[in-house]
C-alpha cells in the first residue's frame, strides 16, 4: 500500500516547494539522512583527532582550513573564504594561528602583487602526514571486500547527491 505524504502545506518554515512523496520514499530518505548523520559524526571525530595530533587544542575549523590550503597547494584568502564559506575575519584569525604554528606561509601572488598566496610549509606537510597516519588506509581496509561495481556506484551516487545539493 502506498500512502502519499502531503508536504505542500505551509508551516513556520516554507515547505511549499517540497513535493508530495509516498510514505516508502519518505522513510527511505529519512533513513539515508540518519546514515549521513552517523557518517558525519564519525568524520568529525576523525577531524578532531587529526587536529589534536597536528597541534594539541587545534579546532576542527583550523584543521579544515589547513587541509584545504594543502589540497589547493597554494591559495588566496579570498578563494578560501569562498571554498570554506567562512567570513573574512574568522579566516584571518585562523590563518594567523596556522602561521604562528609554522604550518603555513604567505608569499606574494605573482599574478596579483596586492594579494598573498597561502601555502603549507615543509614542516606543516610533515606534521600533517604524521597526524593522518593512524587512519591511513582505513578506507582501503574497510572497502577491500566490497564489489568494485558497488564502490563505483556509491561514488557516482554521492557525486550526484553533492551536485544536486549544491544547486539548492
pTM for the structure as a whole = 0.73
pLDDT at 8 over 80: no
Q: Residue ranges per domain, the chain?
A: 20-135, 137-168
Residue 62 grid cell: 583550523
The residue-averaged pLDDT of 14-37 equals 83
Residue 104, pLDDT > 50, answer yes
Q: Which of residues 120 and 7 earns the better pLDDT score?
A: 120
pLDDT recorded at residue 14: 61
> Residue 157: how many CB atoms within 10 A of its CB?
10
Cβ atoms of residues 112 and 74 within 8 Å: no
Q: Taking 60 as the threshold, does the pLDDT of residue 9 lie above it?
A: no
Burial 26-49 (b: 16+ CB within 10 A, else e): eeeeeeeeeeeeeeeeeeeeebeb
Q: Are strands 112-120 and 75-76 parallel, antiparallel or unpaired?
A: antiparallel
Looking up cell 594561528 gives 97
* Confidence category of residue 11, pLDDT binned at 50, 70, 90: very low
- pLDDT over 80 at 112, yes or no: yes
Q: Which fold has domain 20-135?
A: Arc Repressor Mutant, subunit A (1.10.10)
Q: What is the DSSP letter of 74?
A: S
Per residue in 131-167, pLDDT tens?
Answer: 999 888 888 899 999 999 999 999 999 999 888 887 7
- Mean pLDDT computed over 78-88: 92
Q: Which DSSP category does 134 fall into?
A: G
pLDDT reported for residue 79: 92
- Mean pLDDT across 92-119: 93
pLDDT, position 1: 47
What sign has the CA pseudo-torsion 82, 85, 87, 92? negative
Using pLDDT thresholds of 50, 70 and 90, give the confidence band for residue 16: low
Measure Cα distances from 100 to 25, 97, 129, 163 in Å.
Answer: 50, 5, 19, 36
- Residue 19 phi, psi (nearest 5): -75, 160
Looking from the CA of 15 toward its CB, the CA atoms found within 13 Å total 12
pLDDT interval class at 96 (50, 70, 90): very high
Amino acid at each position: 500500500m502506498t500512502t502519499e505524504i502531503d508536504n505542500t502545506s505551509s508551516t513556520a518554515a516554507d515547505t511549499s516547494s517540497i513535493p508530495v512523496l509516498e510514505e516508502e520514499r519518505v522513510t527511505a530518505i529519512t533513513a539515508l539522512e540518519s546514515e549521513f548523520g552517523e557518517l558525519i559524526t564519525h568524520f568529525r571525530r576523525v577531524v578532531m583527532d587529526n587536529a589534536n595530533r597536528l597541534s594539541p587544542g587545534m579546532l576542527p575549523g583550523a584543521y579544515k582550513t589547513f587541509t584545504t590550503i594543502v589540497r589547493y597547494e597554494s591559495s588566496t584568502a579570498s578563494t578560501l573564504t569562498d571554498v570554506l564559506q567562512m567570513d573574512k575575519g574568522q579566516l584571518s584569525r585562523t590563518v594567523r594561528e596556522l602561521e604562528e604554528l609554522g604550518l603555513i606561509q604567505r608569499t606574494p601572488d605573482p599574478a596579483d602583487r596586492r594579494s598573498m598566496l597561502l601555502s603549507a610549509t615543509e614542516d606543516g606537510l610533515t606534521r600533517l602526514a604524521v597526524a593522518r597516519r593512524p587512519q591511513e588506509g582505513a578506507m582501503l581496509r574497510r572497502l577491500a571486500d566490497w564489489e568494485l561495481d558497488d564502490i563505483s556506484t556509491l561514488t557516482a551516487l554521492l557525486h550526484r547527491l553533492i551536485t544536486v545539493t549544491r544547486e539548492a
